[in-house]
Structure 1
Amino acid sequence: MCGAPGETIAACTQQGSVAGAGPGVEVNQGGGKPAAFRPEGADARAREAYRRAREWQARGDADGALALLWQASGLAPGDADIQTALAEALERVGALDTAIEAWRAALAARPEDRKASRGLVLALVAAGRSPEAVTLARAAAEAAPKDADALFTLGLAQSEQDVEAALATLRHVLARAPDHTLARYNLALLLNRVDRRDEAIAELMRVIALEARPEANYALGVAWWHRGEAARATAAFQATIALEPRHAEAYHKLGVVRAAERDWDGAAAALRRSLALRPDVPEVHVSLARVLSASGDEAGARAQLAEGERLRQESEREHEARVWTALGSARLEHGDAIAALDAFRRALAIRNTYAPAHFQMGRALERLGDADAAEGAYTRARQLNPRLVRGSRTAPERVP
């Protein structure tokens, strides 16, 4: 959620989108340019996989959706919408280098796409490649000097490299377009990040006056809390919840504020509500453990601490498995099925119940001609996630 402490400005403006070369792309043995192999009916099957991926994302099955997006991307590597969706999904799991490749593919498929252009810049920033991001964003801004959005993207790119330059650029955007809510919101986040909280609060209040946005109220609550203004922070978090009743982070922060005021019952209620909305966040369990301990419930506190630690370790394992799976998928789409298979095995060594790794391993084994092993991998993926069903084929994938 935008406005969370420590979250980058880039993360608060782009919800991802990108692609990469997909299945059916192979690299010739001489290292030359990949040659596309398009099975019959590939476009229709790609759009169907893309449609199903969107449905699964809406239902909260991000892993299953990512597997489908890889499949769609391979069938239609020149489809900008598919590549954008793949890039967004890769960013969400932290596979930034692979996401960057996907953004480049999306932009190549649709050069005028501002979303893809901004997505590439922000992915580069998130990956620690700010100089390249600034170069790309500056070129785009210079090519369209009257485009406030292009200048805004430059400000975002500068935010991790030169804070003063980023502040100046964002103020320049607002001088041109005073109602540019995202520019003002990101200016406020940057001001808060460099401890210029009075200015940040003023900008956030202007954002809220322009448009009631839960993320702006949440960021305002964080700023007030850092200023030691508990009552104002509470009001801002409550306003966030009024706008977005399922805002788990706002309930968490509200619980922290109430705990600081020694309102143990109020704190526990807010933290339990946060966990009801998102039970998989380790930090909330730790916060609740502290509240329970302070109120005399040592057994409950120990249980919450244990659950928080379990979730932390599980989250780390899942993140590693996702990154290895994304890396293997990218290698598979570039024609290196052997390297891909190694990456999938690494993912499963970390978390053997990670269904997308089994599914992608099936694709790699199929590419290598081991039909029996591929079927076993697909079956295991389907057992772990019944939605992961291999699409029908009218032509086999080629072996690199």
Structure 2
Amino acid sequence: MKRHSVSRPRRALATGAVLAAGALALAACTPSASENGGTADPGTPSTSQTISVWHYFSDENQVQILEDYKEIFESANGGVTVENVFVPYDQLNPRLISSAASGSGPDVVVFNGADAGTLALGGALAPMTGYWDSFADAGQFPDSVVHRLDGEVYAAQGYVNLLGLWYNAEILNEIGVEPPTTLDELNDAMDAAVAAGYAGITLSGLPNSQGEWQAYPWLTAFGFDYADPQVEPLVDAFTMVQRWTESGALTREAVTWDQTVPFQTFAAGGVAFAENGNWQQGTAASTAGFEYGVVPLPIGSSGQVYLGGEGQAIGAFSANPDLAWQYLEQTYFSYDGGVIAADLVGSIPSRLDAAGDDVVTSNSLLDAFATSIANNGGNYPAPAVPAEAVADQQLEVGQIWSAVIGGQLSPEDAAQQMVDLLAGLL
């Protein structure tokens, strides 16, 4: 076992198959994606050869992804200009919706994937069902990364971020256990870690959407489903979590932790496991003074891990939706585009073929997350939750999750309260 570091950029990826797309003719301009069913028809290029891409990225490597995509698309499509437009995270959704109300907005939108329903209901996204249905590589994408509303495809995710089970290899070696593959193995390993004087696991118990994000895998591992909320699986899940707090495996301080603090605590040493994401590679490489690794969360066949990260869509009032779709097809939704995201920031390509690229499979950390996508990946937010109820659902479940960890609610009371609350939302 060895310590892993974040891969360095491989700018040569801008060549090859994606550049070969330069032979494709640009599609004709149409007033909206829905008027032609979202299907691009090759023809005379639009007089508008500029497309705008709104995003909220400020991280250097995330911005570099956009610059690489700009270079790819402009090189493959002579005379086209891509304008990347930064909008602060907390301003992006309001600006998109207000722009749509006035009949304007970007050609391409890169946004928090969980907000696809909100933005679609707000009139900010164009249906792209026709484009997606005629996309030759659509079959490479699991359905869990395709965002639909009322039967229409509004967005997809070219890459995803998700949770896995980080482990301290030195602690596991000391207590004589292997990285767990089942919940029983995980619970036994945490008992052994606590008996040896270590903490068992770190995670977020914040009473908001972050808490719900981290609760979801454990709830679904016992069979919970938003499509049919039942008390019994929730009682089982909450009982397990309270057993963690009662044994000392999980500190009740987790109710104040976002996803950053638990990983910093894990990286400082003295903790066997951390439920955290692929985006923590850099922190692990620079901070952890021990050997570590990642395995998929051991949540069985029913368990699901939300596939987070950014969604990509066509703006509802794009001046050239055909060109916007070609941009998405040749960048975010392409094989090389997925590999670029993995190489620069450690995000996992949604495309199954790109997830098998060496940049992922040669990194055992990323490979574990890719396995989770294939076996346990789930839509974020859960499809059974109406788009207009997502914010309330995430808050309510996050608050109950926090109360269970903090000991304010018994497993039975928490389960019944959650089912009752969801009945009014779903």
**When the two structures are superposed, what TM-score results if normalisation uses the length of structure 1?**
0.27
Indicate the structure (1 or 2) with the bigger Cα radius of gyration.
1
- Higher RCO by CA contacts (8 Å cutoff, separation 6 or greater): 2
Greater strand fraction, Structure 1 or Structure 2: 2
Greater helix fraction, Structure 1 or Structure 2: 1
**When the two structures are superposed, what TM-score results if normalisation uses the length of structure 2?**
0.25
